[in-house]
Amino acid sequence: MRLTLFTLALVVVLCSCDPVGSSSRTGPSTQAPAQVAWAKTRGMDRFGQFADLPIGSVVVRLRWIPPGSFTMGSAAGDSPWRGEDEMQHPVTIESGFWLAESEVTQDLWQEVMGSNPSQFIDPKRPVDSVSWNDAQRFINLLRTRVTGFDVRLPSEAEWEYACRAGTTTPFAIEANAKPAQTINDLGWYRSDADAQTHAVKLKQPNAWGLYDMHGNVQEWCQDVYGHYQSRGTGQSAIGTGERVSRGGSWRQSDWSARSAARRAVPAEQGDNDQGLRLAVTAPAPER
């Protein structure tokens, strides 16, 4: 009888657990918001929580990035090409968010915009030659396609937080999903890209399931470019002026693909190594 009662109690405890949200590891496997009305499917894999959204015939997979704190920027000596604008400072990402596991592809851009500005034509390659202003038009149209889809560009702090995936080194090598030996395992840059973009997700992802954070195309952030404050909240810097571009690209050296590397680019400029990655604001919890 005692054994039967123990077994019943164990079954009750197991059944009361959230099979999607529970995990013993820290990081993006932290339980994601229950309200994801825009997602067709949700699940969890070795990288953490994900949600899939179909846009026409294209399925976009987004990864849950939980709130947390990290040191943004780089330390003196991290790289001989370290910029003076990479001052290290503490940042707290106060709200979790969703981030696309790869750059916006050409087939997704074509589906939403009805055209393709890219120089390197291939539906599975990232869209290129996109200005920050173009990215805003794309996002505004995408919002009209999906109810409750609060899509946007990531803030610069959100981008670096996700790129690092818990690391503190110039590249997120030691936190990679597989044993990555060099930056070549993670991204496309001038020495290995053969002077062109490549289909997304050919290289290894980081430990949070994000591909091409180090290279392929540069990625727009929402922020106006400026010097860092002594502390950060993860929110975008607002105003007018040049915008922040992150991640390096096929035509830049590996040092431009460091987690902390940043560029200031005019909002109207759309180079053939410039693309974007989507972020989605998580809905506020019900009260």
CB 103 within 8 A of CB 125: no
Q: Is residue 10 part of a domain?
A: no
d(CA 257, CA 237): 22
Q: Is 219 exposed, middle or buried (0-12, 13-18, 19+ CB in 10 A)?
A: buried
In a domain, 103, yes or no: yes
Task: Let me know if residue 79 belongs to a domain.
Answer: yes
Number of domains in the chain: 1
Structure tokens at 95: 């709200």
Q: Quick one: pLDDT at residue 28?
A: 54
Domain that holds residue 62: 27-281
pLDDT at 274 (0 to 100): 98
Q: Report yes or no on 13 lying in a domain.
A: no
Contact 104, 278 (CB under 8 A): yes
- Rounded to the nearest 10 degrees, the angle between the axes of helix 106-113 and helix 132-145 is 70
**Residues 81, 202, 263: CA angle, nearest 5 degrees:** 30
Res 7: pLDDT: 36
Q: What is the pLDDT of residue 30?
A: 67
How does strand 218-224 pair with strand 274-275? Answer: parallel
For residue 29 the two structure tokens come to 């496997």
CA angle 100, 58, 34 (to 5 degrees): 50
8 assigned to some structural domain? no
In degrees, rounded to 5, the angle at the alpha carbon of residue 33 between the alpha carbons of residues 89 and 9 is 115
Whether 287 is in a domain gets the answer: no
pTM for the whole structure: 0.87
Cα distance between residue 239 and residue 51, in whole Å: 32
For residue 179, what pLDDT is reported? Answer: 58
Per residue of the chain (287 residues), what is the pLDDT tens digit?
A: 433 333 333 333 333 333 333 333 345 556 788 778 899 999 999 999 999 999 999 999 999 999 999 999 998 887 778 888 999 999 999 999 999 999 999 999 999 999 999 999 999 999 999 999 999 999 999 999 998 899 999 999 999 999 999 999 899 887 555 655 688 889 999 999 999 999 999 999 999 999 999 999 999 999 999 999 887 877 887 778 999 999 999 999 998 999 999 999 999 999 999 999 999 999 765 44
Q: What is the CATH number of the domain that holds 257?
A: 3.90.1580.10
Q: How far apart are CA 39 and CA 231, in angstroms?
A: 34
In-domain check, residue 21: no
| Domain assignment of residue 38, yes or no | yes
